Structure 1
Amino acid sequence: MKTKTWKINKLEKVCEILDNKRVPISQKDRISGIYPYYGASGIVDYIDKYIFDEELVLIGEDGAKWGAFENSAFIANGKYWVNNHAHILKPNNEILISRFLVYFLNFSNLEKYITGATVKKLNQQKLRQIEVPIPLLKEQERIVGILDESFAKIDESIKILEQDLLNLDELMQSVLQKAFNPLKDDTKENYQLPQGWEWKSLGEICEINPRNKINDEVNVSFVSMNKILDGYDNEFSYVIKKWKDVKNGFTHFKQGDIGLAKITPCFENKKSVIFDSLENDIGAGTTELHVIRVVDNVMSKFLLWFFKTDRFIQNGILNMTGATGHKRVPKNFIKNLQIPLPPLKEQEQIASYLDELSLNIKALKENYKTQIKDYEELKKSLLKKAFEGRL
């Protein structure tokens, strides 16, 4: 194996450590500008001045991850500033190429050099002891050339897939907008509806935040917020509890009710679901839900899809109350919300179409995400081959 001919040096022998030149600036003292201000994991701000004007290698001292393939090291070049959360390395380029060092550090599991139980840190003493393989410069150049070219192609493929994922979300919203505004009327409120449709307030056609009355010993489903998936998935999970343990201090619901997150950022993330397959058809859960119980001639799935529209989400955000970070959509907004309501048969047709489209989009998303994961694994495989001398 080629690595048998590679020399091993401690990092302090092949790099100048420039930590004494780094200077932290508190956020209140920073003046906005054009120069990158680097921290442990990359650029955290742009300021009006710089310390460095050369290519250097940075690696997190604290507030970073140092496991294998965690991208703990990176190149900084041009004019920039570095705070005290990143170590600054200047490789001796007569024997070590900066990008080769970055690739090696990101390939390596550096956990054995990390100190601290609660606040983990790669202190300078441990940093100096990291063992770095040093092939001949020509071999380093060959390896870096292959990795640079391969990673560039992989990153471009990942970028295309990530854009495809965004396009699918835009497609879903475009279809939702058309489903609930078939005539494409641009009026902000109570736009024109097709014949047979009518505007109804949610309070007219639903019961908001109902309460259940059942025997204390009955087993029921309990749903916490983190058990409700966000986005367009209509999925949740639950644990089973006695009704007496959850009837007070929690939201009530039953089979077929809609749960709608009311608190930020869950509301914005489209955490909404139809409760089905509940234990004994009854449930309770987080108080950060509004529960909507439909009546005759209203289909739960139709309303759920309405709650997934950007128009509804944006309207809800504008009507939130409470302190920053704890804003909630109030009950009165939900109660007075105007819903474009078609006849029941048309509700069923619209909901069925959206269900099918959603399943197709979900399958495509899973495919794209799998491809992205495969590309990331390919990167790891290339790095492994590179530092095992098999590239």
Structure 2
Amino acid sequence: MEQNRSLTTNLPKGYKHTEIGVIPEEWEVVILSRIVDFLDGQRRPIKSGNRIKGEYPYYGASGVIDYVDDYIFNDELILLGEDGENILSRNLPLAFQVKGKIWVNNHAHVLKPTSDVNITFLTEYLESLDYSLLNSGTAQPKLNKQACINILVNLPSLPEQKAIAQVLSDTDNLIHALEKQITKKRLIKQGAMQELLRPKKGWKVKKLGEIAEVRDGTHQTPTYVKIGIPFYSVESVTNNDFINTKYITREAHKSLTKKFRIERGDILMTRIGSIGDCKLIDWEVNASFYVSLALLKIKPGYSQSYICHYSKTSNFRKEAELNSLQSAIPKKINLGPISNIIIEMPDYEEQTRIAAILSDMDKEIEALEKKLAKYQQLKQGLMQNLLTGKIRLVSH
């Protein structure tokens, strides 16, 4: 009794305790089946070989997977993924709103909200949930209908639902606009690369070993520690993440860097698993690296930035593949063959000019990506606060 009185005393004014947390007093907690009709019985899968191409979207667990010549639904609905790794990984939307003439296979639950529920509000609410505890699959994650029926929903009044939905929709529009802008900038850069890095009269053909000293990292897996010297691997380059790395002791690092070390201006290139991905080290660095990476120390008279940009061309990729061990699993390219990779280049002054243009484009894209990440974080914060009533948008 004393504990219950203490909980009540600590509640903000106008809020109440519920089975899914503290919410405004006038909000309800309802099970999903009370506010939607499940239309799963109407969905039908079509094998890929039996689909006739058409204009109507064919939906699966995570969105449109094809277009067909007929439709099952012609309505405004919510689709909630029923199975697949996305239930746990959430790399794609799990709950998404659809409208118009569509076909849905048996990998997405089909929900039609009742008239007292705003469809955008409910879609956002369902997308905000953690479904890991509802997963009933073993080999493959699964969200069965019975689990969905009993999902608990925080339900404000319809006017407040609409207000919340509007704010989240406006934020989504900003995010989508930035995503389109980033896509456009990337396409422009791709076109610029094709033109600027296309070999021209007077360009020289060099082997990578002629313009760089090629080394690899330690062949022994070191003992990792929680705090220490960063230890780079293939994932550091492919994910462009040199902050969330593994760490080794200072003593181990000192031993590994007796003969050579990574320095600003060097290039790290993936050579096991992923082949040919390159990263220019353009910061002051104190780190060691694994055998899965090659270290390219570019010789004087050649632009490190130009070479790194050139590594993203199809010509460089083809050269890396041709020089790799074709039968190796995982893929692998040894140091000797790396040295044989052909690079075509103009004189140093032109290398520098080309690299500057492409680097400026990269900076523009990076700035937009940072802005996008901030908006995505803002959206997450808004969802957490608006969908639980911590922030109110209507008078109460």
- Equivalent residue of 1:285, what SS? coil
Matched with 1:225 is 234
Shift of 1:110: 4.9
- Equivalent residue of 2:301, what SS? coil
Matched with 1:185 is none
Change (3 A) 1:384 1:128: closer
Task: Identify the match of residue 153 of structure 1 among 170, 174, 189.
Answer: 170
**Native 8 Å contact 1:10 1:132 kept in 2:** yes
**Native 8 Å contact 2:79 2:95 kept in 1:** yes
Letter of the 1:52 counterpart: F
Change (3 A) 1:373 1:226: same
Shift of 1:62: 1.9
| Structure 1 residue 271 corresponds to structure 2 residue 282 | no
**Native 8 Å contact 1:307 1:313 kept in 2:** no
Matched with 1:120 is 141
CA–CA distance in 2 between the matches of 1:55 and 1:349? 55
Task: Identify the match of residue 80 of structure 2 among 34, 39, 59.
Answer: 59
Matched with 2:372 is 369
Matched with 1:314 is 314
Deviation larger for 147-156 or 34-43? 147-156
Change (3 A) 1:369 1:224: same
Matched with 2:44 is 23
| Structure 1 residue 143 corresponds to structure 2 residue 160 | yes
Matched with 1:217 is none
CA–CA distance in 2 between the matches of 1:27 and 1:67? 26
Change (3 A) 1:206 1:101: closer
Report the number of matched residues: 349
CA–CA distance in 2 between the matches of 1:52 and 1:211? 58
Q: What are structure 1's unaligned runs of at least 5 residues?
A: 182-187, 214-219, 247-251
Aligned ranges 1:42-53 → 2 under 5 Å: 42-53=63-74
Change (3 A) 1:114 1:353: closer
Shift of 1:204: 6.9
Change (3 A) 1:25 1:59: same
**Native 8 Å contact 1:37 1:82 kept in 2:** yes
- Equivalent residue of 1:81, what SS? strand
CA–CA distance in 2 between the matches of 1:109 and 1:357? 40
Matched with 1:75 is 97
Matched with 1:249 is none
Matched with 1:202 is 207
| Structure 1 residue 258 corresponds to structure 2 residue 263 | no
Q: What are structure 2's unaligned runs of at least 5 residues?
A: 1-13, 16-23, 219-228
Task: Identify the match of residue 40 of structure 1 among 52, 57, 61.
Answer: 61
CA–CA distance in 1 between the matches of 2:88 and 2:160? 22
Letter of the 1:364 counterpart: A
- Equivalent residue of 2:340, what SS? helix
> Which TM-score applies when normalising by structure 1?
0.66
Change (3 A) 1:163 1:263: farther
CA–CA distance in 2 between the matches of 1:119 and 1:167? 36
**Native 8 Å contact 2:58 2:68 kept in 1:** yes
Shift of 1:224: 2.0
- Equivalent residue of 2:177, what SS? helix
Change (3 A) 1:367 1:119: closer
Q: Deviations over 1:117-171 (max 9, x none)?
A: 6643322222222234556xxx41x234424433343233223333444566567
Compute the RMSD of aligned alpha carbons: 4.9
**Native 8 Å contact 2:88 2:141 kept in 1:** no
Change (3 A) 1:238 1:362: farther
Shift of 1:226: 0.9
Percent identity between matched residues is 22
**Native 8 Å contact 1:58 1:86 kept in 2:** yes
**Native 8 Å contact 1:253 1:283 kept in 2:** no
Aligned ranges 1:168-247 → 2 under 5 Å: 169=186, 188-189=198-199, 191-193=200-202, 199-203=204-208, 205-206=210-211, 209=214, 223-228=232-237, 239-240=247-248
Aligned ranges 1:240-389 → 2 under 5 Å: 240=248, 254-255=261-262, 258-261=267-270, 267=276, 270-274=277-281, 277=285, 284-286=290-292, 289=293, 291-295=295-299, 297-299=300-302, 302-309=303-310, 313-319=313-319, 320-321=321-322, 322=326, 335=340, 337-342=342-347, 346=349, 357=360, 361=364, 364-365=367-368, 367-377=370-380, 379-380=382-383, 383-384=386-387
Letter of the 2:98 counterpart: A
Change (3 A) 1:371 1:337: same
Q: Deviations over 1:10-42 (max 9, x none)?
A: 333443322222222333443332221222222
**Native 8 Å contact 1:253 1:291 kept in 2:** no
Letter of the 1:305 counterpart: Y
Q: Deviations over 1:219-275 (max 9, x none)?
A: x996420122566x99996755969x99xxxxx9754553323578664xx433459
